[in-house]
Structure 1
Amino acid sequence: MGRRSDHSRTELEALFLAAGEAHMAEAGFARFSAREVAKRVGYSVGTLYNVFGSYDRFVLAINTRTLLGWTQALEDRLSGAGPDRIGALVNGYFDFAEANPNRWMALYDHRMPPGEEVTERFNQAFGGLIGIIEREVAAVLGSPVDAVTHALTGSLVAIVHGHCTFALNGTYRSFGGDPRAAALARIRAALTVTHY
């Protein structure tokens, strides 16, 4: 078992987060274990909690990294999207979820305990992700990014998220068809109605 003095706090954080991300990707949130992560790194779970404060803060830190990775994946997709940027966003949403199903679902499965707030870093990461979508929605509508665009973006994300979740858990099979294509069609229709 490693000793606390073997690594600095910053190094420990990086080690735990890398191992935590890998374990979340393998096991999913329901079977995620901070003790297992600490074991993989060679430290006690007490050291992990000393670095992050609690199990929930540790999961939140992993989820923050997932959001940042997802944001970068969407930006990368948009950089080569051509004129169909909404199609690129919807496909990028599905692609990230399909490539990282356990990490993606952990974003929605984890809840902070009552009375505990998410970190500012998590809020910024989530805001960065939504900001990309909001920016593209506003561009299609020829509108500023404002309260109306923000509310519409939330509804559009919910449409894509629902289709994506049903695709990943197999529920969409009972409806038939392609959930990705269906989500994109709903988004295009909503933006057309809103635009005109």
Structure 2
Amino acid sequence: MGRRSDHTRPELREMIVSEGHRQISEVGFARFSAREVAKRIGYTIGTLYNVFGSYDQMLLAINGRTLDLWIAALEGRLEGLETGRLEAAIRAYFTFAVEHRHAWTALYDFRLPEGEPMPDYYREKVEAITGVIVREIAAALPEAHGEKARSLARSLLATVHGHCFFALNGTFALLGEEDPIARALDRVEDALARYEDG
């Protein structure tokens, strides 16, 4: 295939991320192919690496698209809600993972090489997800314990994530658990109940 110059660099970046996200959503991280992305958009694989600098940075950009969709789904689910916001956020967490299974798991399957720092733009996207949970935990806590919201949110996020991951990979079904969302909500309520009386 000859060299092409039909698109600007920003246009190429968007084409690559869009096609890469489509592919990873369809086949998952393990079967993701940069060559197939290049083929689908009509460019060489060298063009992909030229735009992003490396395979790893391209994968981060693709996973970044998933994070953008995830935060939009969370905020969209919470928009206008006056009560039950924390439960709605947890249910939205599960819903997004189920509806975007391959793309969601790719967020955790992919790792940067040891010693390579996470780009600021990507870290900000991750912190946006965490920020939603921190905000909703803070709102659910008595005012006297508001300073505990961030540390508690990290712990509860891990709890919800574990329940979600076990639900997706079949572990809960194997254990006979039929309602992992309800169990995740139970654990969150148990944790919050510790702070109700003071």
Scaled by the length of structure 2, the TM-score of the pair is 0.94
* Superimposed CA distance per residue, residues 7-27 of structure 1 (whole angstroms, 9 cap, x where no aligned partner): 000000000000000000011
User: Displacement of 1:80 after TM fit?
Assistant: 4.1
Size of the aligned set, in residue pairs, is: 195
Is the contact between residue 142 and residue 195 of structure 2 (CA under 8 Å) also seen in structure 1?
no
* Superimposed CA distance per residue, residues 29-68 of structure 1 (whole angstroms, 9 cap, x where no aligned partner): 1111111111111101100000011111111111111111
Which residue number corresponds to residue 177 of structure 1? 178
| Aligned AA (1:39) | K
Computed over aligned residues only, the root mean square deviation of the Cα atoms, in angstroms, reads 1.5
Q: Does 1:113 align with 2:113?
A: yes
| Aligned AA (2:77) | R
Alignment of 1:87-126 (within 5 A): 87-126=87-126
Q: Secondary structure at the match of 2:116?
A: coil
Which residue number corresponds to residue 191 of structure 1? 192
Cα distance in 2 for residues equivalent to 1:99 and 1:8: 32
Q: Does 1:64 align with 2:52?
A: no
Q: Secondary structure at the match of 2:111?
A: coil
- Closer, same or farther: CA 129–8 of 1 in aligned 2, 3 Å: same
Q: Secondary structure at the match of 1:132?
A: helix
Q: Does 1:150 align with 2:150?
A: yes
| Aligned AA (2:15) | L
* Structure 1 gap segments, 5+ residues each: none
* Superimposed CA distance per residue, residues 94-136 of structure 1 (whole angstroms, 9 cap, x where no aligned partner): 0000000000001111000112111111100011111111011
Cα distance in 2 for residues equivalent to 1:126 and 1:195: 29
Is the contact between residue 19 and residue 40 of structure 2 (CA under 8 Å) also seen in structure 1?
yes
Is the contact between residue 78 and residue 85 of structure 2 (CA under 8 Å) also seen in structure 1?
yes
Is the contact between residue 138 and residue 149 of structure 1 (CA under 8 Å) also seen in structure 2?
yes
Identity of aligned residues (%): 50
Cα distance in 2 for residues equivalent to 1:189 and 1:153: 13
- Closer, same or farther: CA 12–183 of 1 in aligned 2, 3 Å: same
| Aligned AA (2:121) | R
Cα distance in 2 for residues equivalent to 1:96 and 1:59: 20
Is the contact between residue 134 and residue 145 of structure 1 (CA under 8 Å) also seen in structure 2?
no
Cα distance in 2 for residues equivalent to 1:41 and 1:97: 27
Cα distance in 1 for residues equivalent to 2:50 and 2:196: 51
Cα distance in 2 for residues equivalent to 1:131 and 1:145: 14
* Structure 2 gap segments, 5+ residues each: none
User: Displacement of 1:4 after TM fit?
Assistant: 3.5
Q: Does 1:28 align with 2:28?
A: yes
User: Displacement of 1:151 after TM fit?
Assistant: 1.2
Cα distance in 1 for residues equivalent to 2:154 and 2:174: 26
User: Displacement of 1:193 after TM fit?
Assistant: 1.4
Cα distance in 2 for residues equivalent to 1:3 and 1:195: 65
